[in-house]
Copies of this chain bind each other. A is one copy, B any other.
């Protein structure tokens, strides 16, 4: 995934140095990925060895030297190739919560329920944030691109909603089916 993002950014926004790519990513796709700086440099180096980008040392004013990366023809091909490979959509998630519930017999059910309740509000906050970001970002985008970005946002939204629904139904399940009679808590 990382190389696709880097090549795509270099294609769309022109030649950049590592740190600048980091900022471009932060400004444009922070909602979908969180690629760390060392990861960026790692892949830039690798892609240079592959001939997908070309590096040029540059000094601007009194600023320290920087390495500007430009996408090559070979890089454009690799980008398209990688993107087309992504057309083979797959989904096989694993959730940390799975382990939690698989071994839930070692835990206190009432405590789990309390956590799930705060989790529901967390998801609600995430959903609100997503909607806010979508409005803020897609405002100044050309129509075609806004549609695509909208698709990404709706993807995330649907999964956050799934997460919220799951937490809510789980609370109910634990309250009725679980050994909730063990909840002789204080009060």
**Chain A residues proximal to chain B, CB less than 8 Å:** 1, 4-5, 8, 12, 29, 32-34, 79-80, 83-84, 86-91, 93-107, 111-112, 115-116, 119, 122-123, 126, 143-145, 147-152, 154-156, 158-163, 165-167, 169-170, 173-174, 177-179
Chain B residues lying within 8 Å of A115, measured Cβ to Cβ, are 87-89
Main secondary structure of the interface of A (DSSP, over half): helix
Chain B residues lying within 8 Å of A177, measured Cβ to Cβ, are 143, 147
Instruction: Check A29 against B102 for contact (C-beta < 8 Å).
Output: yes
Instruction: Check B151 against A105 for contact (C-beta < 8 Å).
Output: no
Instruction: Check A144 against B178 for contact (C-beta < 8 Å).
Output: yes
Q: List 12 additional A-B contacts (Cβ < 8 Å) besides A87-B100, A89-B97, A154-B166.
A: A8-B99, A32-B95, A33-B98, A83-B100, A86-B97, A91-B126, A91-B160, A95-B156, A147-B177, A147-B178, A155-B166, A158-B162
Per assembly, the copies of the chain total 2
Instruction: Check B83 against A103 for contact (C-beta < 8 Å).
Output: yes
Instruction: Check A93 against B154 for contact (C-beta < 8 Å).
Output: no
Whose C-beta in chain B lies nearest to the C-beta of A99? B4
Contact of A99 with B86 at beta-carbon distance under 8 Å, contacts A162-B158, A173-B147 already known: yes
Instruction: Check A98 against B173 for contact (C-beta < 8 Å).
Output: no
Chain B residues lying within 8 Å of A178, measured Cβ to Cβ, are 144, 147
Instruction: Check A148 against B83 for contact (C-beta < 8 Å).
Output: no
Chain B residues lying within 8 Å of A1, measured Cβ to Cβ, are 94, 96, 99
